[in-house]
């Protein structure tokens, strides 16, 4: 089946650091990639929708200058958390979508900011 | 934005019991998906329901889509500890999830 690889799976860094998370679709070309954030014991919250070659569409309340999304190819999207602070600590999950197929999820990145 | 409400939020039962969780909305969905997520992993798609009144079975799991396509239910028969997880519903095209039902099945 379709596989989405997310890297890194776990990262710890100091406050003020910028962190980049990669999301790759390994065996298909993703028209669209989605980025979600999940706090402990809560559901996934959609942060942004990313289409290849165009600017991401951010959900209301999500700071686009804080969470930079780049979707340079049909198989790779990146989320950069800029100047991360402890409140940015969370579980970030990406998914990739071909269109008439269900979206396929990565295994998530656990980000801890000290 | 189509909002999805899931209930109950938490459910803890003994192995062998039956349970039903619900996903409701005031909006009509062209199709709806159910996922299960385990800690530290991404959600895994269980089923997509498309037709109003549709019933789909996946082993001990039975999924039903309401006639008006505004609600759905997931029924698990003879729950097992391996069923433990966060159950999420989402509009297939909306890509937004309900709050989820966190199920714990105790051995």
Condensed to tens digits (0 to 9), the pLDDT of residues A22-69 reads: 999 998 888 899 999 999 989 999 999 998 888 899 999 999 999 999
The contact set of B with A (CB < 8 A) is 33, 37, 40-45, 48, 86, 88, 92, 95-100, 102
pLDDT-based confidence at A2, cuts 50/70/90?
A: low
Mean confidence (pLDDT) of chain B: 94
**Torsion angles phi and psi, residue B82, rounded to 5:** -70, -10
The contact set of A with B (CB < 8 A) is 4, 6, 34, 36, 41-46, 49, 91, 93, 95, 97, 102-103, 105-108, 110
Q: Is 80 exceeded by the pLDDT of residue A18?
A: yes
Mutate to test the interface with A, among B43, B45, B87, B97 (most CBs of A within 10 A): B43
CA distance B4 to B87: 13
**8 A C-beta contact, residue B78 and residue B18:** yes
Asked if B43 lies within 8 A of A41 by C-beta distance, the reply is no
Residues 6+ apart with CB under 8 A from A10: A109, A110, A112
**Ramachandran sector of residue A61 (left: φ over 0; alpha: ψ -120 to 50; beta: rest):** left
**8 A C-beta contact, residue A57 and residue A43:** no
CA distance A76 to A65: 20
pLDDT per residue as tens digits for the range B2-46: 689 999 999 999 999 999 999 999 889 989 999 999 988 999 999
């Amino acid at each position: 089946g379709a596989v989405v690889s997310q890297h890194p799976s776990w990262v710890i860094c100091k406050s003020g650091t910028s962190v980049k998370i990669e999301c790759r679709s390994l065996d298909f070309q993703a028209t669209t990639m989605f980025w979600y954030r999940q706090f402990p014991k809560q559901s996934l919250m959609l942060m942004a929708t990313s289409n290849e070659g165009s600017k991401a569409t951010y959900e209301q309340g999500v700071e686009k200058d804080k969470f930079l999304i780049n979707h340079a190819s049909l198989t790779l999207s990146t989320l950069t958390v800029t100047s991360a602070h402890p409140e940015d600590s969370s579980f970030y999950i990406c998914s990739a979508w071909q269109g008439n197929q269900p979206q396929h999820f990565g295994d998530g990145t656990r980000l801890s900011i000290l | 934005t189509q909002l999805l409400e899931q209930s109950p939020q938490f459910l803890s039962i003994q192995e062998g019991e039956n349970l039903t969780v619900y996903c409701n909305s005031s909006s009509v969905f062209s199709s709806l998906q159910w996922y299960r997520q385990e800690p530290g992993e991404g959600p895994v798609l269980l089923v997509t329901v498309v037709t109003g009144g549709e019933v789909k079975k996946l082993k001990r799991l039975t999924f039903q889509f309401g006639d008006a396509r505004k609600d759905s239910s997931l029924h698990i028969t003879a729950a097992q500890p391996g069923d433990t997880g966060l159950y999420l519903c989402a509009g297939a095209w909306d890509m937004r999830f309900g709050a989820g039902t966190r199920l714990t099945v105790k051995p």
